[in-house]
Amino acid sequence: MKLHLYLLFTVHVLFISSTIYSLPDKPSISKVPAWVTKNNIDYNNVSLDKDAADGYINISFETQVSLADQSKYFFYSKKIISKSGVQNESQISVSFDPSYEQLIFHSIHIIRKGEILNRLELSKIKTVHQEEELANFIYTGSLDAILILEDVRMGDIIEYSYTIKGFNPIFKNKYTDEYSMEFPIPLYQIYYKLIVPQGRKMTIKNLHENVQPVISAVNGQQVYEWRKSNIAPLVLQDYTPHWHHPYAQILVSEYNSWKEVNDWAMQLFPVKKQLSVALQKKIKEIETANSSDEEKTKATLQFVQDDIRYMGIEIGENSHKPADPSKVFAQRFGDCKEKSYLLCVMLRAMNIDASPVLINTVSKKSITELLPAPTDFDHLTVRVKLGSVYYWFDPTIAYQRGNIKNLFYPDYQAGLVINDSTFSLTPIVFRSISYQHAEELFKVSAMSGGGTLTVTTTFHGSEADDIRNDYNNESLAELMTTYKKFYAGYYEDIKADSLTYKDDENTGIFTTTEYYSIPKFWETGKGKEKKFSLSAFIINNVLIRPKEKDRTMPFRIMYPAKFEEEVIVELPENWKVTESETHLKNKCYAYNCLFYCAYNRVHLVADYENYKDHATIAEAAAYFNDLSKYDESASFDISSGMDDSSNNNSHSSGKNILSAFITIAVIAGGVIWWSQRK
């Protein structure tokens, strides 16, 4: 977002938030609530100190909840064990939503050699708007109360406690939560307490955890308590899939079924909605311009995707409740729930069956392990029924083109379809329709001169969606600079000449053509031989190489991923090489490569496809074995024994080795290029 637009938006949302807040936006101080349990802490336990990170060790963490008071009490205790801990942990920050929450501090102490030093001074606590999600075009209105601690020393114990009073009213006085029992850092003791008024039923589920609650009755209320000590850290291995949840948890929920969650959501997304005159006019325009339901659906989807920009003001109840569709239409912005609901009401006005769908983009189908709760979801999409066929659309994806039957929908795997017939989660079958075909043509004018490179790439499915979005938001000059960085990792003096593209809206295929000049095409070896290296440049950037090969957890693979790449080197004279073939296939991916020469043209033809989004622990050995075979045959050197003055036409074929040149290029250029292009 450009600076002036960012500032204007910030002023706008601050004005909105100031009109919404009804509670104090500053913290206060009071005694610990009477319903809170005071626990003893063992400060002498040092058995986990060896596993500490960032210079400190967590001693104790507590969360105590009173549903009757709608309050959550927190207590933290940590010990500084090195100078880096002094730097990292000499500040306290607590986030809260002032539209429905009050922040109340009870204590802030430094314990030094048994002496308790009070550090709770309200005047020194600053309240600021951080808005960490603003870069993602989400404004939550949350505040951060920050205290910079003075005179913190190595060996100090820092303890503080506070209560956040007030629950989000959007959940209609129903409570759900997740109590973490395991962390990537060590912790000496943890305590959770939940006080449930009489008549309210709480469902509890353990995930990877054996600790059971101690249940008692106090003042007519049901009290649940969990304790755990000496909790060793559990560190995720690199490239662990986001949906893999190995950490121990206690789940609690007052929702007894997915139908209850659906019924809650039905109130937020009512089927019948009064629409403004302007919105009705737009709907009529789409109906008039399109004859079939498929055409109407596609036109409406494209309008919501392209003309309603993504922006969410999610203060208080608006964390889950969408703004009125007529308002979203008028202001021309909304977040996922607002764009999806707008699409639904527009299609319903055309008598097309459309329903919102709650999605968990991280857990995906692992959501089935969770207890039913509205907080299980972080996204909203749409399901449309045309005839007897269901279609799934994500209105937050911009610039989708092509036949409606082939529009890309991410691999969300499962969702809760919001309508009056829903009783459970619905599995969503993924269709992998995305792939990319690239032809890289090198033309060498002379053995002593330079050459040119022309790269023609066709994008399909999500690959086309991504690249089309880039071309609608960046200039050709910016894109050309990005693309050049990739090939500059291989050829330092490469020059970008021009860039063209073609977007076929009927098929959805997007084609780009890049033109480069390479002044110094050949490298000269020690024996004055001329050498040129080539590989499947793009495919090299797709394969995942976890550092931890001894897997105790599955590892993530890019998915969908299907690439076809042909590298052609057109030389000024006939050439001979030793032809080579590589074929690799396992349960995760397939790779094929053919290296050959026809007269003066050297060809490297490769294709690569992933079959799923992860490799299991059992599949790791085969994956890494095939990856080693790939690395042994991933690049080729074309070399000639003649020097600059020789007319000898003797040639030697390249060896199939992954050279240091390619490795460095992939790391330096490929990562930059791929992250930019994706």
Q: For 327-385, what is each residue's pLDDT tens digit?
A: 999 999 999 999 999 999 999 999 999 999 999 999 999 999 999 999 999 999 999 99
- Which tokens hold the place of 616? 């299991």
pLDDT at 280: 98
Say if residues 615 and 627 touch (Cβ distance below 8 Å): no
Specify the pTM: 0.87
* Statement to judge: residues 457 and 410 lie in one domain: no
* Statement to judge: residues 248 and 331 lie in one domain: no
* Statement to judge: residues 347 and 490 lie in one domain: no
pLDDT at 560 over 60: yes
pLDDT at 498 over 70: yes
- Within a domain: residue 198? yes
Q: Which of 389, 418, 447 delimits the end of a domain?
A: 418
User: Where does residue 234 rank: exposed (0-12), middle (13-18), buried (19+ CB within 10 A)?
Assistant: middle
At 20, is the pLDDT very low, low, confident or very high (cuts 50, 70, 90)? very low
pLDDT at 665 over 90: no
CA gap 522, 419 in Å, rounded: 65
Q: Which residues, including other chains, have CB under 8 Å from residue 166's CB and lie 6 or more apart? A: 23, 70, 71, 100, 101, 102
Q: Number of C-alpha atoms within 13 angstroms, CB side, residue 186?
A: 18
- Within a domain: residue 86? yes
Q: What angle do CA 132, 133, 134 make, to 5 degrees?
A: 95
Say if residues 529 and 503 touch (Cβ distance below 8 Å): no
Q: Model confidence over 592-635: pLDDT tens digits?
A: 999 999 989 999 999 999 999 999 999 999 999 998 888 887 77
* Statement to judge: residues 25 and 96 lie in one domain: yes
At 531, is the pLDDT very low, low, confident or very high (cuts 50, 70, 90)? confident
At 131, is the pLDDT very low, low, confident or very high (cuts 50, 70, 90)? low
* Statement to judge: residues 152 and 267 lie in one domain: no
Average pLDDT of the residues in 652-672: 35
pLDDT at 122: 95
CATH label of the domain that carries residue 377: 3.10.620.30
What rounded mean pLDDT belongs to the chain?
88
The total number of structural domains that make up the chain: 3
CA distances from 236 to 202, 240, 242, 362 (A): 31, 7, 10, 15
* Statement to judge: residues 641 and 527 lie in one domain: yes
At 105, is the pLDDT very low, low, confident or very high (cuts 50, 70, 90)? very high
Higher pLDDT, 13 or 204: 204
Say if residues 29 and 104 touch (Cβ distance below 8 Å): yes
pLDDT at 566 over 50: yes
Indicate the angle between helix axes 277-289 and 336-349, nearest 10 degrees: 60
Average pLDDT of the residues in 103-115: 96
The DSSP letter of residue 53 is B
Indicate the angle between helix axes 293-307 and 277-289, nearest 10 degrees: 130
* Statement to judge: residues 573 and 640 lie in one domain: yes
Backbone angles phi, psi at 309, to 5 degrees: -70, 160
Say if residues 86 and 154 touch (Cβ distance below 8 Å): yes
DSSP string, 149-162: -SS--TT-EEEEEE
CA gap 671, 678 in Å, rounded: 11
pLDDT at 7: 40
The DSSP letter of residue 365 is G
Average pLDDT of the residues in 641-649: 36
- Within a domain: residue 429? no
Say if residues 176 and 252 touch (Cβ distance below 8 Å): yes
Residue whose tokens read 């496809």: 609
pLDDT at 24: 66
Q: Which of 254, 273, 300 delimits the end of a domain?
A: 254
pLDDT at 6: 41
Backbone angles phi, psi at 134, to 5 degrees: -65, -30
* Statement to judge: residues 501 and 563 lie in one domain: yes
* Statement to judge: residues 405 and 311 lie in one domain: yes
- CB-CB neighbours of 35 under 10 Å: 18
Backbone angles phi, psi at 63, to 5 degrees: -130, 125
Instruction: Give the percent of the chain with pLDDT over 90.
Output: 76
- Within a domain: residue 448? yes
At 138, is the pLDDT very low, low, confident or very high (cuts 50, 70, 90)? low
- Within a domain: residue 401? yes
- Within a domain: residue 241? yes
pLDDT at 478 over 90: yes
Expressed as residue numbers, the domain containing 595 is 435-677
Average pLDDT of the residues in 521-526: 73
Element of type H or E holding 672 = helix 671-677
- Within a domain: residue 424? no
Instruction: Give the percent of the chain with pLDDT over 70.
Output: 88
pLDDT at 162 over 70: yes
pLDDT at 460: 95
pLDDT at 572: 87
* Statement to judge: residues 614 and 581 lie in one domain: yes
Which residues on neighbouring strands pair with residue 61, listed in sequence order? 76, 190
CATH label of the domain that carries residue 60: 2.60.40.3140
Which range, 9-18, 100-109, 532-541, is most confident? 100-109
DSSP string, 422-451: --S-EE-------EEEEEEEEEE--TTS-E
pLDDT at 644: 37
Q: Which of 184, 219, 254 delimits the end of a domain?
A: 254
First to last CA, the chain: 18
- Within a domain: residue 460? yes
* Statement to judge: residues 120 and 250 lie in one domain: yes
Indicate the angle between helix axes 293-307 and 336-349, nearest 10 degrees: 150
* Statement to judge: residues 158 and 299 lie in one domain: no
The DSSP letter of residue 374 is G
pLDDT at 631: 84
Residue 213 amino acid letter: P
